[in-house]
């Protein structure tokens, strides 16, 4: 298929096919985005090679089109039904002959695609091409025309695919070209954290505990406004797995992490989008127009935090979004999948789709238990994912809740870790690694073994002076982010855990689930 696509585009470049004819040949093939990107790269490469040794005029055009080629989408309108029409894709006249003869400028402009009506990414205009086209060779004219044609037709095919999909995809993304290598794919519930300092009286008013996480009920809905009005609350991009994704991207090279979830069509979604964009995280949000963006009330009491979550739009994630060609191509690129346990309350089939992809292709699937109520009230859903766990992460209260919900009759965390490591596993090529954090106490790690007796080790945390602690909210998410960064980079288990400990120690020095800027460099525990 890739060869056929390349042949179709090369035929047009060489002048053997008109734009409409080339489009007819390439249309069914351009639906396969990875192959299309490779073909476009080939065209760009030919263009650059053809310009070697020519004048600054040519190099100016090269730079312009190099910038243009990075745009995610270009104006795309249907072909005219008339073969003699001089209008190509609804653009100004740019058939090969007219383009070669023209001495005027031709403006190419990024526009919002019809299927991107809910994509909040800002559109920008590409630079004008002020270079006289008569300065270019015929081959170069054809290359430039081919590049414009292929990009435009790709956008038209995307419109067609989306229009006929079972669920018209609505997205809110910081997306870049899928040719980039995103090694880590994260899925869960994006939330806006409304975080303020409180006391026992506030906790009692809403029936909350000092170090807990629950889903909001009707009686809790007044908490969010009270935090904003009376407790000088801060608005912070949250959602456990989104925090983890930001943490992993903090340590990894650019374009390493992508995150998916569902948000509302409101200003809070824009706040989330802007916040994650600043740290370089790619997000692919499904936009639900019937619910507001989810929110999490966070009450800080001393070094503890109590979280009360109203999922709202986050509860509306659709597997059709995950399985859409653009998003699933990112899934296929990734080598590590991370799912926060909170998503077990939302869309188990989406979790299992990632888990099965990992098992079939010997990739790595990581799950965080996330909160005690997950094993307590969503035991069946949690157990459905258990055979796929290559890594499972939880803190001491979550591990104890799991043991209790499964009637293991023990509160010994080491024994619980061993039992988790020995649960049946789908991909037997990889032993399961169980990680139980304990705040400032050493982290317990149990690794499954074919012999039946797991290996157990403990790892110390990075020390921090009490007066340096600003906020423990998100420390566990930060640990998972550092751990995942190590896994993605192929570090040893010891190194990966230490990266998690280091990032957690940095996070608790900041307000909310945040990380220091300017960026700090990971320093292993001595």
CA neighbor of 454 nearest in space, from 392, 396, 397? 392
Active-site residue, from 288, 471, 477, 498? 477
Query: 238 has which bridge partners?
Result: 191
* DSSP 8-state code for residue 324: S
Burial label for 169, CB within 10 Å (0-12, 13-18, 19+), is buried
Q: Quick one: DSSP state of residue 467? A: G
188 three-state secondary structure: coil
Q: Report the alpha-carbon distance of residue 389 to residue 402 in Å, rounded.
A: 15
Q: CA-CA distance, 200 to 1, in Å (whole number)?
A: 64
Q: Is the dihedral of CA 278, 284, 290, 294 positive or negative?
A: negative
- Among this protein's residues, is 412 annotated catalytic? no
- Residues β-bridged to residue 260: 187, 284
Which alpha helices (H) appear in 164-220, and where do they start and end? 200-205
Percentages (nearest 5) of helix, strand, coil residues in the chain: 45, 15, 40
* Cβ-based neighbours of 402, under 8 Å, separated by 6 or more: 369, 375, 382, 394, 416, 420
CA atoms of 23 and 6, how far apart (whole Å): 12
Cβ(344)–Cβ(385) below 8 Å: yes
How buried is 519 (Cβ within 10 angstroms: 0-12 exposed, 13-18 middle, 19+ buried)?
A: exposed
Tell me the C-alpha distance between 216 and 195, whole Å: 15
Q: Decide: 200 and 304 in contact? Cβ < 8 Å.
A: no
Sequence length of the chain is 526
Pairing of strands 184-187, 336-340: parallel
Q: How far apart are CA 156 and CA 31, in angstroms?
A: 10
Strand partners, 447: 433, 455
Sheet bearing 282-288, strands edge to edge: 171-173, 282-288, 257-264, 184-187, 336-340, 364-368, 391-395, 433-438, 441-447, 455-459
| 192 and 235 Cβ atoms separated by less than 8 Å | yes
DSSP string, 392-444: EEEEHHHHHHHHHHTT-----HHHHHHHHHTS--S-TTS--EEEEEETTEEEE
Catalytic residues: 477
């Amino acid at each position: 298929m890739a060869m056929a696509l390349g042949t179709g585009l090369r035929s047009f470049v060489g002048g053997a096919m008109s734009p409409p004819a080339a489009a007819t040949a390439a249309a069914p093939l351009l639906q396969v985005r990875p192959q299309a990107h490779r073909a476009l790269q080939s065209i760009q490469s030919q263009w650059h090679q053809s310009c070697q040794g020519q004048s600054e005029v040519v190099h100016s055009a090269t730079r312009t089109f190099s910038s243009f080629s990075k745009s995610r989408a270009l104006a795309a309108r249907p072909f005219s039904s008339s073969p003699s029409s001089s209008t190509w894709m609804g653009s100004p006249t740019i058939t090969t002959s007219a383009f070669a003869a023209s001495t005027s400028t031709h403006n190419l402009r990024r526009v919002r695609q019809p299927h991107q009506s809910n994509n909040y990414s800002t559109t920008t205009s590409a630079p004008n091409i002020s270079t006289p086209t008569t300065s270019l060779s015929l081959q170069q004219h054809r290359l430039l025309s081919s590049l414009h044609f292929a990009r435009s037709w790709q956008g038209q095919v995307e419109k067609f695919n989306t229009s006929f999909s079972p669920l018209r995809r609505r997205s809110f993304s910081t997306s870049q070209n899928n040719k980039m290598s995103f090694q880590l794919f994260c899925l869960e519930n994006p939330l806006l954290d409304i975080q303020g300092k409180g006391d026992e009286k506030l906790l009692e008013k809403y029936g909350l505990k000092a170090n807990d996480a629950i889903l909001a009920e009707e009686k809790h809905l007044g908490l969010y406004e009270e935090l904003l009005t009376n407790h000088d609350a801060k608005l912070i991009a949250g959602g456990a797995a989104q925090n983890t994704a930001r943490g992993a991207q903090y340590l990894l090279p650019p374009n390493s992490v992508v995150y998916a979830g569902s948000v509302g069509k409101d200003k809070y979604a824009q706040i989330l989008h802007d916040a994650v964009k600043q740290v370089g995280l790619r997000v692919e949000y499904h936009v639900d127009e019937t619910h507001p963006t989810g929110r999490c009330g966070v009450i800080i009491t001393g070094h503890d935090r109590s979280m009360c979550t109203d999922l709202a739009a986050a509860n509306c994630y659709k597997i059709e979004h995950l399985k859409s060609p653009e998003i699933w191509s990112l899934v296929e690129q990734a080598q590590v999948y991370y799912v926060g346990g909170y998503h077990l309350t939302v869309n188990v089939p989406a979790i299992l789709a990632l888990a099965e992809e990992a098992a079939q292709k010997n990739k790595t699937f990581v799950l965080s238990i996330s909160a005690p109520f997950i094993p307590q009230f969503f035991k069946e859903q949690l157990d459905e994912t258990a055979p796929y766990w290559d890594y499972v992460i939880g803190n001491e209260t979550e591990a104890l809740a799991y043991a209790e919900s499964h009637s293991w009759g023990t509160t010994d965390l080491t024994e619980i870790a061993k039992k988790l490591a020995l649960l049946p596993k789908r991909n037997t090529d990889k032993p399961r690694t169980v990680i139980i954090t304990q705040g400032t106490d050493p982290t317990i790690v149990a690794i499954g073994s074919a012999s039946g007796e797991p290996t157990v080790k403990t790892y110390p945390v990075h020390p921090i002076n009490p007066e340096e602690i600003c906020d423990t909210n998100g420390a566990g998410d930060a640990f998972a982010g550092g751990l995942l960064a190590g896994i993605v980079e192929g570090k040893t288990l010891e190194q990966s855990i230490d990266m998690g400990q280091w990032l957690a120690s940095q996070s608790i020095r900041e307000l909310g689930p945040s990380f220091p800027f300017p960026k700090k460099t990971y320093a292993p525990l001595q």
